[in-house]
Amino acid sequence: MAKKLDEHQRKRYTRQLLLPSFGFDGQEQLAASTVLVLGVGGLGCAAAQYLCTAGVGRLILVDDDRVELSNLHRQVLHGEDDIGRLKVESADDSLRRLNPAAAIETVTARLDDVALLGKIKSSQLVLDCSDNLATRRQLNRLCFEAKTPLVSGAAIRFEGQIAVYPMTESAPCYECFSQRFGEQQLSCVESGVLAPLVGIVGSLQALEAIKLLSGVGTVPSGRLMLFDGAHSQWQSFTLEKLPGCTVCGGA
């Protein structure tokens, strides 16, 4: 049962409370929710700041990286004074300033399956803001096991992509997508990325997360949305469940 909003919260979130389909019920759902954000780089900074300011009650931030100068053009929760600090600690400071009421748990280790599954099970949903295939696959496998929805994002060069995996038995998972289409191993370390791309994709991850948590609107489950920032064009594809998928297709 979601908690009732106090006077301060009613004022803080008044522009969301005005939304007829969202209202008090949606806001109270957010306040009662925990979201796990894996990766506090470009995507994670953008997503976490909107989840936090929009009123998600609890965030679990997982990242073992430290802030570097070359991160700062796109990772907006970290500043030059934070260089050398753990990203989750820098992000924690920024998020507390944005919304002191948010409960933030930081994890500074790469978690094994047992530990990560525990964190996933204590969350209503998970945002994949990671930058490597091994982590994406681990997160997908464990979210399917926990039946916890996964909102996956990626951005490189001028291109962004986002997909929502609801982790129901009938829906495709990330592995269905990557086994069918292959997965590029490129990272922005060698390929570069334009700063607003991670903001666009991370903000969309936050949007889909808020819709999933509050039950508002339509979530594009099982669809892959691609954004070509160089020409400002969107494309959207339906993802099919892959027969025999090693994660979700075995049964």
Binding region for Zn ion (CB under 5 A) = 173, 175-176, 245, 247-248
Q: Would you list the DSSP string of 212-228? A: HHHT-S---BTEEEEEE
- Residue 144 CB, nearest distance to Zn ion (Å)? 7
Tokens in use for 147? Answer: 């039946």
Nearer to Zn ion, 167 or 201 (CB): 167
- Residue 197 CB, nearest distance to Zn ion (Å)? 27
Nearer to Zn ion, 38 or 163 (CB): 163
Q: What span, in angstroms and rounded, lies between the C-alpha atoms of 178 and 176?
A: 6
- Residue 247 CB, nearest distance to Zn ion (Å)? 5
Nearer to Zn ion, 95 or 245 (CB): 245
Number of residue whose CB is nearest Zn ion? 245
Fill in the amino acid letter for 130: S
Is 234 within 8 Å of 162 (Cβ atoms)?
no
Q: What span, in angstroms and rounded, lies between the C-alpha atoms of 203 and 96?
A: 19
The residue assigned the tokens 């990772």 is: 75
- Residue 136 CB, nearest distance to Zn ion (Å)? 13
Nearer to Zn ion, 41 or 172 (CB): 172
Q: What span, in angstroms and rounded, lies between the C-alpha atoms of 45 and 34?
A: 17
- Residue 249 CB, nearest distance to Zn ion (Å)? 5
In degrees and rounded to multiples of 5, residue 107 shows phi and psi of -125, 120
Nearer to Zn ion, 129 or 173 (CB): 173
